[in-house]
Structure 1
Amino acid sequence: MPASPADFYRRQLLWLLGSLLLLWWLERFPALDLRLQQLFFDPASGHFPLQNAHWLDLLNHQLAKYLIVAAGVLLGVQGWRRRDYRQLLAVAVMLLATALVSWLKQKSAHSCPWDLQAFGGHASRFGLFAAVPLDAGPGRCFPGGHASAGFSLLALGFWQRPLRPTLARRLFWLGGAAGMLMGLGQMARGAHFLSHNLWSGWLVWLACCLLFAGHDLLWQPWRQRLATRLPRLSLD
């Protein structure tokens, strides 16, 4: 028996809280980010060999993003023609979730790996909740903006959940995998740490959950109650 909307979103919030605590705990181990990033760094040349790789930029930074944008446009047009407002909501959530990550990224003082002293740059790395040092660098690199486009596909899982639960689960996995793969491509270029992408995924997940919960638990019940009262009001 499928879970009620209230139970579903209650579980989602518990998972979000648990993953938030995990991300917070991982902030205590910055060496993990650095060691993973060193896999893509060439100490001899002092740079990331794939930073300007045309094929990686074409496949990961352009093609993947354009495919997701095209999917969003097609779903939006289809939803508008069908007057499927839940489908339109999914497209709107995709846009809002990525816009949230982009806004936070622009406000961030954290610099990209390729700007840091450990990888041939001039900036210092500092913890997420630490004071900003004087040599923080150009910043604008947290959370992972490009990965958020892949993670935005999570909205499609929330859209399909009450309609096709099996498809919804596949879309959830698709969104998680797309975000991590697109984030991995950015790690290979030296543009982001793993933690940048994980936080991006968490923020997109949170935005999807809150916006769809507002629709399913607040707006939809209110609209249904209003629809049942309108005939009575017209008779009165």
Structure 2
Amino acid sequence: MSPPRPATAFGSTPRAPFLALTLSLAGLALVWDASDLDRVAMHWLAGGGGFALRHHWLLERVLHDGVHNLALLAYAALLFLAWRPLGPLRQLDGLQRLEVVSGVTLSLLLVGLLKGLSHTSCPWDLQEFGGAAVYVSHWAWDLVDGGPGHCFPGGHVSSAYAFLALALPWLEGDAQARRLGRAVLHGVLLAGLLLGLAQTLRGAHYPSHTWWSALLCWVSALANQQVFARLRSRP
């Protein structure tokens, strides 16, 4: 397998499809937000007594606590492999490996920062599910809902979606490299979807929180790659 090609600028192949896909998904997410389907979905899963699956061992102990610890190990392994590459990472040069580490880190920091600033409380904190908060849109940044807040976007799913940055170097390579990139991309998306579903079933997050976390991580990964593309293009 030949090494991935250097990143290209926005508007050239294959970056333009990435941008078009991003804008389309963002538009669909905004339509979802406007439809109030978040609340509809949560009412399907719970009643006045709360969420029956909140403390289910598989959802809480395995898909939350266990995956959280696994994500920390994966991030530590990425830092080590960026320094001493093994396997497919040996196909990347030092700047590309730095790009991957930077992209993953940027995604985690972005989601964490927005969660810290958000006044939105989790579904299980709403009065209609036995909590103290009233429903307020996660876009109403100036309103306090009476709950603990800090629930938007989904932080747990970002432990998977942050690794979208890992796929980008191969997605711009030759045919064989792109196959590897797509495998990484699909694996990360599937992992994030599973974690998001687990958190929604527990009442920890609305479906839109997972969607927006994925978009934020994807956009930050693309922006990070653009920065490194400009660095690579300098003499």
**TM-score bin, normalised by smaller chain:** 0.7 to 0.9
Give, in angstroms, the shift of residue 59 of structure 1: 1.1
Task: Report the equivalent of 1:90.
Answer: 100
Which has the higher relative contact order, 1 or 2, with Cα contacts under 8 A spaced 6 or more apart? Answer: 2
Q: 1:66-77 residue pairs with structure 2 within 5 A? A: 66-77=69-80
Corresponding residue SS for 2:167: helix
Task: Report the equivalent of 2:214.
Answer: 201
Give the TM-score, by structure 1 length: 0.83
Answering whether residue 192 of structure 2 is matched by residue 156 of structure 1, we say no
Contact 2:119–2:145 (Cα < 8 Å) also in 1: no
CA distance in 2, matches of 1:131, 1:158: 32
Give the TM-score, by structure 2 length: 0.84
Contact 2:200–2:206 (Cα < 8 Å) also in 1: yes
Unaligned runs of 5+ in 2: 86-92
Task: Report the equivalent of 2:232.
Answer: 220
CA distance in 2, matches of 1:7, 1:40: 43
1:28-78 C-alpha deviation (Å, 9 max, x unpaired): 111x212222333244xx111222233322211122232233223223212
Contact 2:119–2:144 (Cα < 8 Å) also in 1: no
Aligned residues: 218
Give, in angstroms, the shift of residue 141 of structure 1: 0.6
Answering whether residue 48 of structure 2 is matched by residue 35 of structure 1, we say no
Give, in angstroms, the shift of residue 178 of structure 1: 1.1
Contact 1:79–1:85 (Cα < 8 Å) also in 2: no
Corresponding residue SS for 2:34: coil
Corresponding residue SS for 1:206: helix
CA distance in 2, matches of 1:194, 1:21: 15
Answering whether residue 180 of structure 2 is matched by residue 170 of structure 1, we say no
Q: What is the aligned-residue RMSD (CA, Å)? A: 2.2
Correspondent of 1:113 among 114, 123, 126: 123
Contact 1:153–1:174 (Cα < 8 Å) also in 2: no
Q: Whose radius of gyration is greater, 1 or 2?
A: 1
Contact 1:160–1:167 (Cα < 8 Å) also in 2: yes
Unaligned runs of 5+ in 1: 227-236
The amino acid that maps onto 1:23 is A
1:183-206 C-alpha deviation (Å, 9 max, x unpaired): 111111111000111111110010
Contact 1:9–1:213 (Cα < 8 Å) also in 2: no
